[in-house]
Chain A
């Protein structure tokens, strides 16, 4: 018992505590494992995010369906990662819309069919407030960019947005971040294998 009262032992215990804390907290870029966001899938079924994806490794990107260039490029890169993975079991591909007002479940369903995405892909939307809260928590920027700059109520807009791909571990913690449309699939696959 005397060991635990010496200055050296106290220092050792503090160092061990800090090292343990560093190993757990610093592994996650963003930890949403204990949070819950009510989202909707393409068939309008409720999704509890991220809980419903726990036990899987998930790739998460962000898009809107009226985006003609960059977002389909991100979707194509997600598809490339899926194709290049030798084993896709327990891997989920999630695309979350920046634009919940226009991207209803049925619109996302059309997009999913147009780009021939299989059932490993979830395209998720929600009510605008929930989506805003989630995007803010995930440090994703999205802002409407009106075609007619005077008519701010118009539904005719594009979006300025982050270009981010996240890797989420089986506990629901964001572990890696990539530039979504240009990251080489091999880099992401290497990190997926590390998490497995």
Chain B
């Protein structure tokens, strides 16, 4: 009798505990698609020899943490994952991000003035309406190639 009362008392607590775990992913969906999904992909215009940036959202539909560890493009001398940030005095700076860890069910935004793929030493002009090919390498997912439309910032 005492046990059943205790059970009734603790049942809502355990329910809340497990409910809390299932809501931990930042996205509404559960990580069940088994794939890395890339959406809202676009690149800035840029002239030959200069730089451009690529932006998108990454959703980790796998049930395990994955890591974006390499980016490349045949249309840029160098491609790296970078992050723009402001220091405590409001000065804009940029740093290279070696590995981008994406938890199961997490959605990471690459967006202006934040995380972005930087394409340096462009081999040709990128104008709105063009596209540029890039390849992302994830630890678990492996390589994903993308055709990125070039457009003005929305």
B91–A72 CB distance below 8 A: no
Query: Taking the nearest CB of chain B, how far is it from the CB of A183, in angstroms?
Result: 12
Judge whether B71 is part of the interface by a CB distance below 8 angstroms.
Answer: no
Is B53's beta carbon under 8 Å from chain A? yes
Is A68 within 8 A of B44, CB to CB? yes
Contact with A along B117-154 (1 / 0, CB 8 A): 01110000001100000000000000000000000110
Q: Is B116 an interface residue (CB 8 A)?
A: yes
User: What is the distance, in angstroms, from B87's C-beta to the closest C-beta of chain A?
Assistant: 8
Contact of A115 with B94 in the complex, beta carbons under 8 Å: no
Q: Are A73 and B113 in contact (CB under 8 A)?
A: yes
Partner of B93, one of A65, A66, A160, A181: A160
Check if A70 sits within 8 Å of B113, measured CB to CB: yes
Q: How far is the CA of A179 from the CA of B84 in the complex (A)?
A: 15
Question: In the complex, what residues of B have CB within 8 A of residue A114's CB?
Answer: 45-47, 127
Query: Is A145 in contact with chain B by the CB < 8 A criterion?
Result: yes
Query: Given that A73-B153, A181-B112 are contacting pairs, would A66 and B51 also be in contact in the complex, using a CB cutoff of 8 Å?
Result: yes
Mark A124-145 against chain B: 1 for CB-CB distance below 8 A, else 0.
0000000000000000010001
Number of B interface residues in the complex (CB < 8 A): 26
Interface string of B49-70 (1 = CB under 8 A from A): 0111100000000000000000
Tell me the minimal C-beta distance from B61 to chain A in angstroms: 27
Contact A68 B112 (CB under 8 A): no
> Which residues A169-195 have CB closer than 8 A to chain B?
179, 181-182
Chain A residues near B53: list those with CB within 8 A.
Answer: 68-69, 72
Q: Which residues from A are CB-within-8-Å of B44?
A: 68, 72
Residues of B within 8 A of A (CB): 44-47, 50-53, 82, 84, 86, 90-94, 112-113, 116, 118-120, 127-128, 152-153
Interface residues of A (CB under 8 A from B): 65-70, 72-73, 76, 110-111, 114-116, 141, 145, 158, 160-163, 179, 181-182
Interchain residue pairs with CB less than 8 A apart (25): A65-B50, A67-B51, A68-B44, A68-B46, A68-B52, A68-B53, A68-B82, A68-B118, A68-B120, A69-B53, A69-B84, A69-B112, A69-B118, A70-B94, A70-B112, A70-B113, A72-B44, A114-B45, A114-B127, A115-B45, A116-B128, A161-B91, A161-B92, A162-B90, A163-B91
